[in-house]
A and B are shown apart, each in its own frame.
Chain A
Amino acid sequence: MPILEVRDLSTHYFTLQGPVEAVDGVSFTVDAGQTFGLAGESGCGKTTVALSIMGLLPSNGRVMGGQIILDGEDLVKKGESELKKVRWKKISMVFQGAMNALNPVINVGEQIAEVILEKEGLKKPEAWKRVRELYELVELQTVRVKDFPHEFSGGMRQRVMIAMALACYPKLVISDEPITALDVIVQNQILNLMKNLQKKLNLSQILITHDLSVIAETSDKVGIMYAGKLVEYADATSIFKRPLHPYTTALIGAYPSIVGEKRTLNFIPGAPPNLISPPKGCRFHPRCPYAKNICGKEQPEYLEKEAEHFVACHFVDELRTIPSLEGR
């Protein structure tokens, strides 16, 4: 049962140099209790998708088309005051780099309590009771409810952000690079914490990251974005065992495996395109090892090539014969 449906979302930023087509025709569905992993390089538009859903685009950004359906209502059509009601109560967000995402001059408990007070209509003592419960959920010491952000370590601050995101027990949590800024060991802890919480509270999640290994560990469905477009979309197993888009294959190939033979890492030459004037045709074609003439002229259609497995590439069928990465 879908919690959130994004259909054909397009978002542009209007800059002095011209409009940046940051997101172009992206569609996906998030089901109840499931995690949708949105992956791609920096600047491919993943965060913009998140901001579009929450209605948090800066003043020069605008959703140009598409629908975002939550609980039967299209969020794109909602005004700011209506969106405020949805925010945090139905969808909340865990931001990257919680160092700066928390207000340094207000104590942490207060930052969590304020949203409970405003949205849940609880009285102060009850709100703070919930703050302490949330602290326990994320395995923080409840004596520290009145501490300030700078008194916590990076990992602990991320736990605080998670606790805060869960404050109103939302249906959907969007996590934008939640562990990227942390030490590796702490990364693992937080990731496990998030998985447990999700099961416990039956949460749905959109997990945004450039780190495929995180996606592999957590996601049920996966979407690969490149230069503002969704190039491949399927369940996790299919993406990793049978990637159909050259970009996906290249991404997976860029990750070393700790089993198997040593091999040179494959990398993708070139850099992501300028989205003010994206390349004609398929946006990946300048870097694609299999590109042919048509790739530079026509944009590939986004088609369902296998059961619930969508790809946008001209040569999917031909490329299927290339050895995949079984056993990864």
Chain B
Amino acid sequence: MTLDTQMTSRSLWRERVSSYTRRIKDFWTIYKKSRMGMVGVSLVLGFIIIAFVAPWFAPYHPRALVGTPFLPPTNEHLLGTDQVGRDIYSELLWGTRVSLMVGLLASAFAVAIGTAIGLLSGYYRGLLDSVLMRITDLFITLPVLPFILILAALLGRNIGNIIVVIAITGWTGTARMVRSQTLSIKERPYVEAARSIGARDSHVMIRHILPNVFPLVFANAIIGIVDAILAESGLSFLGLGDPSQPSWGMILHYANEAGALATGRWWFIIPPGICIMLVTIGFAFSSYSLDQILNPRLRKRRW
């Protein structure tokens, strides 16, 4: 490259970056106005912080047996102990990492798979489309829970498998949405123009279609995090979680198995559930506000 072209492409790059930052700043000004959105974001940020600082704030190691089992809340054990004598408060703090990790990773994978399939399906159409759509239909009508249970039972109980399993069962919604968006965007004049001057398919898909699909997908991804976290806690509750991880769902599983309900051991039951709820509410509120902003009903207001 000559010096000229080097300088131009660098300034173009700078321009693009600054336009992105400007857009993000504008977006944030609007987002700040939504009370629900701010509550959501605060909760999410709060839990992310907890996840990071857990090792310093947790009085005990979550897997260590540090007390007599089934202790109610005391000064030494703020939230009591579980059925083998681990400190529940520490487990809760460390459990944040598990939930967030599973939620973010599983949702990210699911969205990636779904977007890829939807994009390819909608762009190329024809036989590929039919095949991919049949597979999507299959996965939609798959009874999720039994399938997850079976896979988890077969593949073994570890956290990686859980993430994979949740991702495999969760991409269908995104796929459908991306596909229908791709179909409509493909017909737009600028896409036709790009193709007519010989742009490669991958270029068209990545540079033209993907950016337009992104807002819809992003809001969906966040709700996907909610579903993933709920799925993980559900799986753990049913006994398929990873026993080596202090997952909130696992705590509830042990609570159920140990008959905490019948014996009124509320400290075993209520706190983990509240944690799950707060994290998911955080993401749910954020997703809702995001959706309101990114996908507004700009069409004529008749009402």
Q: Which residues of A contact B (CB under 8 A)?
A: 58-60
Chain B residues, CB < 8 A from A60:
301
Chain B residues, CB < 8 A from A58:
300-303
Residue of B nearest to A16 (CB): B30
Residue of B nearest to A51 (CB): B302
Interface of B (DSSP majority class): loop
Docked complex Cα distance between A59 and B303 (Å): 5
- 7 A-B residue contacts at CB 8 Å? A58-B300, A58-B301, A58-B302, A58-B303, A59-B301, A59-B303, A60-B301
**Cβ of A324 to closest chain B Cβ, rounded Å:** 39
**Cβ of A55 to closest chain B Cβ, rounded Å:** 13
**Cβ of B31 to closest chain A Cβ, rounded Å:** 15
Chain A residues, CB < 8 A from B303:
58-59
Docked complex Cα distance between A254 and B41 (Å): 57
Residue of A nearest to B30 (CB): A16
Q: Which residues of B contact A (CB under 8 A)?
A: 300-303
Residue of B nearest to A13 (CB): B301
Residue of B nearest to A15 (CB): B301
The total of Cβ contacts below 8 Å across the A-B interface reads 7
Chain A residues, CB < 8 A from B302:
58
Residue of A nearest to B300 (CB): A58
Chain A residues, CB < 8 A from B301:
58-60
**Cβ of B100 to closest chain A Cβ, rounded Å:** 35
**Cβ of A229 to closest chain B Cβ, rounded Å:** 23
Docked complex Cα distance between A59 and B302 (Å): 8
**Cβ of B64 to closest chain A Cβ, rounded Å:** 56
**Cβ of B254 to closest chain A Cβ, rounded Å:** 52
**Cβ of A196 to closest chain B Cβ, rounded Å:** 32
Chain B residues, CB < 8 A from A59:
301, 303
**Cβ of A52 to closest chain B Cβ, rounded Å:** 15
Docked complex Cα distance between A58 and B299 (Å): 12
Docked complex Cα distance between A233 and B302 (Å): 30
Docked complex Cα distance between A58 and B302 (Å): 5
Docked complex Cα distance between A59 and B300 (Å): 11
User: Which among B300, B301, B303 has the greatest number of chain A C-beta atoms within 10 A?
Assistant: B301
Chain A residues, CB < 8 A from B300:
58
**Cβ of B58 to closest chain A Cβ, rounded Å:** 47
Docked complex Cα distance between A13 and B58 (Å): 56
Docked complex Cα distance between A23 and B300 (Å): 18
**Cβ of B294 to closest chain A Cβ, rounded Å:** 16
Docked complex Cα distance between A58 and B303 (Å): 5
Docked complex Cα distance between A59 and B301 (Å): 8
**Cβ of A319 to closest chain B Cβ, rounded Å:** 38
Top 4 nearest A-B pairs (CB, nearest first) are: A58-B301, A58-B302, A59-B303, A58-B303
Docked complex Cα distance between A60 and B297 (Å): 14
Docked complex Cα distance between A58 and B300 (Å): 9
Docked complex Cα distance between A272 and B301 (Å): 22
Residue of B nearest to A58 (CB): B301
Docked complex Cα distance between A59 and B297 (Å): 14
Docked complex Cα distance between A58 and B301 (Å): 6
**Cβ of A84 to closest chain B Cβ, rounded Å:** 15
**Cβ of A47 to closest chain B Cβ, rounded Å:** 11
Residue of A nearest to B302 (CB): A58
Docked complex Cα distance between A60 and B301 (Å): 8
**Cβ of B258 to closest chain A Cβ, rounded Å:** 54
Docked complex Cα distance between A165 and B301 (Å): 23
**Cβ of B30 to closest chain A Cβ, rounded Å:** 10
Docked complex Cα distance between A51 and B197 (Å): 47
**Cβ of B296 to closest chain A Cβ, rounded Å:** 10
**Cβ of B131 to closest chain A Cβ, rounded Å:** 33
**Cβ of A72 to closest chain B Cβ, rounded Å:** 30
**Cβ of A207 to closest chain B Cβ, rounded Å:** 22
Residue of A nearest to B301 (CB): A58
Docked complex Cα distance between A301 and B301 (Å): 34
Docked complex Cα distance between A60 and B303 (Å): 8
Docked complex Cα distance between A60 and B300 (Å): 11
Docked complex Cα distance between A95 and B303 (Å): 16
**Cβ of B27 to closest chain A Cβ, rounded Å:** 15
Docked complex Cα distance between A91 and B193 (Å): 49
**Cβ of A112 to closest chain B Cβ, rounded Å:** 21
Residue of B nearest to A60 (CB): B301
**Cβ of A75 to closest chain B Cβ, rounded Å:** 20
**Cβ of A166 to closest chain B Cβ, rounded Å:** 23
Docked complex Cα distance between A9 and B94 (Å): 66
**Cβ of B209 to closest chain A Cβ, rounded Å:** 29
Docked complex Cα distance between A271 and B301 (Å): 24
